[in-house]
Amino acid sequence: MKFLNLLILALPARFALAATYNLVDNILGTAFLTTFNFQAISDPTHGRVNYVDASTAQRLNLTYAAGDTFILRADSKTVLDPNGPGRNSVRIQSKKTYTTHVSVYNIRHMPQGCGTWPAVWENGPNWPNGGEVDVLEGVNDKGPNQVTLHTSAGCSMPASRSQTGTPAQNDCNVAVNSNAGCGVKMTDSRSYGPAFNSNGGGWFAVERTSTFIKAWFWPRNAGNVPADVKNGQTVVNTGSWGTPSAYFPNTQCDIASHFKAHNIIINLTFCGDWAGSAYSSSGCPSGCVDFVNKNPGSFSNAFFDFASLRVYT
């Protein structure tokens, strides 16, 4: 027994303790309105969007919160003046920042439609030096979901690692390949877009430590959803969650130096650097900006419906 105790004490902390985390932020319904700031800013990704402030979002019914429901959506009524601002939408950023943590996003519905570019991500200061983790992201309804890291130079991922997803590019440096980052495509088609929505959504989770970043996705009603995730328990054990969809180890990247304290950001933009450039190859009609300007009714399903966001440390 004495030898066993000494062995446990000698184990690195990431093996002995890091798989268990305690709930620190339980964000449901109206809590999204008090734990996040609305960012009425120019879109850094050059989208055909006009991000509005909190009072405007509530007046235009672009946000709605009650019970375990938080809705964030874009305007779906207005034909836009091609010489005027973009489509009204919402971008929010958490007031708190997180380093080592687990975040679990219970989402019933994500924005869909040609021209849409929804994102749920965690971002550091002085971009890209503080690092970026894209948890949920895609464009023009083209799934599956892609999890991506964006960093300054000197961070890359091994080609072979323990994950169920498919790596796209392994260099995370934003200066490489027009800021493609080191992305991993999930294998489950239900992780993004109309397929996600028709299935009732699901859970995305991210675990970040000083030595790795992992991401998981579980579809609604899947048999392998961990009980602590499904039930929103006050303690989660990531060691029981199985092989992650995406795994970013520190073997070729000093995670601690490339990723600082992160805010959580939720936003919906249109066209821009990615959705715009991929538009013509996505099977969408006309041009991206023209479509977004003239077809407000096409964005009636361009909304997030969050059941909860839980953060553990």
Contacts of 278 (CB under 8 A, 6+ apart): 139, 140, 142
In-domain check, residue 192: yes
Query: Is 207 a member of any domain?
Result: yes
Based on the structure, what is the number of domains in the chain? 1
> Is 157 within a domain?
no
Q: CB-based burial of residue 281 (10 Å sphere; 0-12 exposed, 13-18 middle, 19+ buried)?
A: exposed
Instruction: State the pLDDT at residue 13.
Output: 38
- Is the Cβ–Cβ distance between 204 and 105 less than 8 Å? yes
Domain annotation covers residue 313: no
Q: Considering 43, 75, 134, 137, which one is annotated as catalytic?
A: 137
Q: How many CB atoms lie within 10 A of CB 32?
A: 22
Residue 39 domain-assigned (yes or no): yes
Q: What is the pLDDT of residue 306?
A: 98
Q: What is the reported pLDDT for 17?
A: 44
Choose among 95, 236, 247, 53: nearest CA to 165: 247
Q: Residue 34 domain-assigned?
A: yes
Determine which one of 132, 134, 188, 305 is catalytic: 132
Phi, psi values for residue 148, rounded to 5°: -140, 140
CATH number at residue 81: 2.60.120.200
pLDDT for the residue 247: 98
Residue span of the structural domain in which 270 resides: 19-145+186-308
Scanning the structure block, which residue is given the tokens 């000093």? 254
Within-domain flag for 150 = no
Q: Is there a catalytic annotation at residue 137?
A: yes
- Tens of pLDDT along the chain (313 residues) come to 443 344 334 444 333 345 899 999 999 999 999 999 999 999 999 999 999 999 999 999 999 999 999 999 999 999 999 999 999 999 999 999 999 999 999 999 999 999 999 999 999 999 999 999 999 999 999 999 999 999 999 999 999 999 999 999 999 999 999 999 999 999 999 999 999 999 999 999 999 999 999 999 999 999 999 999 999 999 999 999 999 999 999 999 999 999 999 999 999 999 999 999 999 999 999 999 999 999 999 999 999 999 999 999 9
Domain assignment present for residue 7? The answer is: no
